[in-house]
Structure 1
Amino acid sequence: MITVFDSIADDLAEHGYAIADQFLSQQEVNNILDLEEFKNGAESFKKAGIGKNKGLQINEAIRGDYIQWLDRSSAPRPAVVYLERLSDMIHFLNQALFLSLKDYEVHMTVYPPGSFYKRHLDQFKQDDHRKLSVICYLNNHWQEEHGGQLRMYLPDGTRDILPVAGRLVCFRSDQIEHEVLPATRERLSLTGWILDQHSELRHL
């Protein structure tokens, strides 16, 4: 895993984003997908909104996903495996890139077929503590024709990334605008942000 962290650190430093396949093994992905929460996610998760705290709004014309925040103290073991790996990556990036990352916040995410998230930046105007966005995909047997790509808007053009199982995408929250394109099938991920302050679990 250290070599994966090395590659992520190098690409973040050079490009502002990194893609790491098999960040979760196939078995680790399957263990998460077997959780009851994911089996009926669109029914039991909360509708995701735009903004934060008192400014939070539900707007399906902008985003259509459903989410459930993960609390590390009560998360099921298959999800804890991912959270612990994320903690290890934070420690590595702090040493390799001389960052001051301190914590993370992560939610399970379900995009029903046909839903999307329009172009946006992950860092709030009034809250700049999100430093890195991290998404780990959980979609087995995903094909190009299924759609659902993450489209990143980069200085030299756009780049589309398929949400295939086990793939981690990590990028600068303050710099890279992105969107989620509609898919023909349900699209699952663990989506989160690495922070320069300790998370207060304010979303639970």
Structure 2
Amino acid sequence: MNTHFDSIADGLAEKGYAIADDFLSPAEVSAILNLDTFKAGISEFKKAGIGKDQGLQINEAIRGDYIQWLDKTSSPDAVRVYLNRLNELVQFLNQNLFLSLKDYEVHLTVYPPGSYYKRHLDQFKKNDHRRLSVICYLNPDWKPEEGGQLRMYLEEDQLDTLPQAGRLVCFRSDQIEHEVLPATRERLSLTGWMLDQLVDVRI
């Protein structure tokens, strides 16, 4: 069992969010970054949009990231290490917080230098099955002056978190508005959601 699970559950129960450093080890992060997909750069990714299904729109004034959805059954071993750990976390949160989570979905995410994602909520108005947002960062030796913080808007304040390699951020999809600030270098992550229904098949 991952040593971070208790602190993640406590943070979600008390504050609606949790931050866990070293959720992935440096070696595990390195193995993911060495995948051909990341080495090829954003040519392997699709431009991310806003909304879902027929309502999906591309709007670079709001978000500028590129994504590639992961298939849990055919993902490379390096990624499956993370997916297996995420699955264990789902089971742990169900047992301890009684969330009735049934599945999760994850995509690889690349923000080119200067790109951002303006303030938003992860839960769709017409599709409210996202319960928890989960982001694991893949950026070794990230420096504060490089920007790229995740900014969460909390009840009385805002919290900025640097996208350090191995760091996991988990928060309530229906409650915490957030944004991604511009960075001076490419910003990589595994971005996903824990759902209260089974995942739709993605192409």
- TM-score (normalizing by structure 2): 0.98
1:67 is matched with which residue?
A: 67
How much does 1:99 deviate? 1.4
Aligned-partner Cα distance in 2 for 1:49–1:184: 22
How much does 1:118 deviate? 0.3
- TM-score (normalizing by structure 1): 0.98
Instruction: For residues 78-136 of structure 1, give each alpha carbon's deviation from its aligned partner in whole angstroms, at most 9, with x where no partner exists.
Output: 00000000000000000011110010000000000000000000000000100000000
Q: Residues 5 and 89 of structure 1 are in contact (CA less than 8 Å); yes or no, is this contact kept in structure 2?
A: yes
Q: Name stretches of at least 5 consecutive residues in structure 1 with no aligned partner.
A: none
One-letter code aligned to 2:44: S
1:38 is matched with which residue?
A: 38
1:175 is matched with which residue?
A: 175
* Structure-to-structure mapping, 1:109-188, within 5 angstroms: 109-188=109-188
RMSD over aligned CA atoms reads: 0.7
Instruction: For residues 28-70 of structure 1, give each alpha carbon's deviation from its aligned partner in whole angstroms, at most 9, with x where no partner exists.
Output: 0000000010112311100000001011010000000000000
Between Structure 1 and Structure 2, how many residues are aligned? 203
Q: Which runs of 4+ in 1 moved over 2 A?
A: none
Q: Residues 21 and 168 of structure 1 are in contact (CA less than 8 Å); yes or no, is this contact kept in structure 2?
A: yes
Q: SS of the counterpart of 1:3? A: coil
> How many percent identity over aligned positions?
73
Aligned-partner Cα distance in 2 for 1:201–1:147: 35
1:86 is matched with which residue?
A: 86
